[in-house]
Amino acid sequence: MPTVNTLRIATRRSPLALWQAEHVAARLRASHAGLKVELVPLSTRGDEVLDRSLAAIGGKGLFLKELEVAMLEARADLAVHSAKDVPVELDAPFVLAAILERADPFDALVTRDGRGLDSLRAGAHVGTSSLRRQLQLRVLRPDLVAVDLRGNVGSRLARVDAGEIDAAILACAGLERLGFGARIAQRLEAPEWLPAAAQGALALECRAGDRDVAVLAASLAHAPTALCVCAERAVTAALQGSCQVPIAAYATLDAGTMSLDGWVGSQRTGQTLRASQRREVGGQQDAEGLGTDVARALLARGARALLDD
């Protein structure tokens, strides 16, 4: 049994990040009698620089750095992340100790009056900082204007409500976790619209070799979600993708058979490519292999040129 008496969880300060960290803390307290769990809220560069897109300032890894430093300096033992924000390659001192059961993996369209994507007027301004979301929007509604939108969930909704933009695209999971599920005017879902790899899942990160913390974290792991996330992240890894490249991946698992869709596009030309495969998956190695094969299928269809764009 783990000998940890107090577990300190590093988290970003945004309302959604704090909700996610407290959710993990509550589950750990419920699973391990007598365990004290404390939150260590921190500000990251990704939270502080809001006047430029994530692609322009270095990518999603900016949401992790300060949390990892806190673990290295022994100010925290564990970090909670939105799994889609975790780079496919972690720095050597860290490991992902658990992937929790996935919430709604899809994107949501939010509007003031509840109208859906097809009902937006031509030229309407839709806010999102994601190149993936911008390009999928461009494919479905080339007459709309995508505008960069950063900030926490509340500030993004406020810009829609104030009329600064006509709509915004956010993750369904984040809206629902903060009690804004009623604001979802339309779920943007597969097969027409694919999410980011690992979207909707939470990831727990700790120091490599910190066995007691890893055991505590692993008690919250959800194996089917972990396999799907593994396959999706393998697509991104094989394509050498980051938030500077529009990439999507979405896996489902049914009675041991996994279906995986991969998608990549060029922000410059608007061209997109898609590949899908389905096979039995018995463990992590099989899931990674499926993800790699889907990426290879995309590359065989010309994805490298789109990635180089």
Looking up tokens 């608007």, which residue turns up?
270
Instruction: Summarize pLDDT for 188-201 with one digit per residue, the tens.
Output: 999 999 999 999 99
Nearest to 37 by CA among 67, 7, 10, 17: 7
CB 21 within 8 A of CB 76: no
**What's the average model confidence in pLDDT over 95-111?**
98
- Predicted local confidence at residue 51, as pLDDT: 46
Q: Which neighbouring-strand residues pair with 249?
A: 262
pLDDT band at 186 (very low <50, low <70, confident <90, very high): very high
SS3 state at 29 = helix
Category of 308 on φ-ψ map: left (φ > 0), alpha (ψ -120 to 50) or beta: alpha
Mean pLDDT for all residues in the chain:
92
Is 148 labeled as catalytic in the residue annotation?
Answer: no
Q: Please indicate, yes or no, whether the overall pTM of this predicted structure exceeds 0.85.
A: yes
Q: What is the rounded CA–CA span in Å between residue 217 and residue 73?
A: 20
Instruction: Summarize pLDDT for 34-83 with one digit per residue, the tens.
Output: 999 999 999 876 554 444 455 544 455 567 899 999 999 999 999 999 99
Q: What is the rounded CA–CA span in Å between residue 296 and residue 59?
A: 24
Q: Give me the DSSP letters along 150-185.
A: -S-HHHHHHHHHTTSSSEEEEEHHHHHHTT-GGG-S
Distances in Å between the alpha carbon of 11 and those of 64, 147, 220?
Answer: 9, 28, 17
b/e sequence 295-309, b meaning 16+ C-beta within 10 Å? bbbbbeeebeebbee
Distances in Å between the alpha carbon of 206 and those of 186, 189, 284?
Answer: 36, 32, 20
Q: What is the rounded CA–CA span in Å between residue 128 and residue 263?
A: 18
Beta carbons within 8 Å of 283's beta carbon, 6+ residues apart = 227
Amino acid letter for position 11: T
**What's the average model confidence in pLDDT over 203-221?**
96
Percent of the chain with pLDDT over 70: 92
**What's the average model confidence in pLDDT over 110-121?**
97
Query: Is 26 a residue whose pLDDT tops 90?
Result: yes
DSSP H helical segments within 73-222, as ranges?
Answer: 131-140, 153-161, 172-177, 211-218
Query: Is 142 a residue whose pLDDT tops 90?
Result: yes
pLDDT band at 1 (very low <50, low <70, confident <90, very high): very low
SS3 state at 264 = strand
SS3 state at 146 = strand
Q: Which of 47, 85, 261, 293 is catalytic?
A: 85
Q: What is the rounded CA–CA span in Å between residue 193 and residue 263?
A: 10
